[in-house]
Copies of this chain bind each other. A is one copy, B any other.
């Protein structure tokens, strides 16, 4: 968690870059808990500062606004999801049924990061547009990894032919069906174990590819 690799565009008063990174990690870690528990708007900057272990004044040495903190949090979450998926892809690369394994690994990442992904769904719209844009780019890059996977499998002949647009849309579908486990958890978790969910959805998704052209 807390990759923070793209945070250089958030301005700070503090000179020492290592310190900046350490403190921001501290703040993000405190903030994400509060945001998940109470939401962004009900969380006060004072609460964040206190939970992070320093004063409100210091907090504003590392950020220029409350929204900055939300952006950092969203960015860290996406970084972690991306890390998880990348790992999953290389782990699955040698397997017997690559697609099923990537789906499985991705869904398990969504499961582990459930609350975090939900936070992104709920609070992205509270960001100033400049940063909302960046968050959506992150989302798109992650979907891009799935596009890549599908394209590789397709070109190796293990899937029936699909044009680029279909592959892309399929990747979005997989991504969203993973997220669905997070934003419909209030219902799904009462009726399915994650293993069942993965199994059923994997069958459905593979079915999606299995044949073509109905109309």
Residues on A facing B (Cβ under 8 Å): 39, 41, 97, 100, 121-122, 125-126, 136, 140, 165-166, 168-170, 172-173, 176-177, 180, 183-184, 186-188, 191-192, 196-197, 199-215
Contacts and interface: CB of A to CB of B under 8 A. Distances in A.
Contacts of A215: 100, 199, 203
6 contacts: A121-B183, A169-B197, A176-B180, A176-B184, A203-B212, A203-B214
Q: Quick one: copies of this chain in the complex?
A: 2
Contacts of A200: 165-166, 169
Contacts of A186: 136
7 tightest Cβ-Cβ pairs between the two chains A and B: A204-B208, A207-B208, A206-B214, A41-B41, A176-B180, A122-B125, A207-B207
A210 B210 contact: yes
Nearest to A140: B187
B172 A184 contact: yes
A180 B140 CA distance: 14
Contacts of A172: 180, 184, 187-188
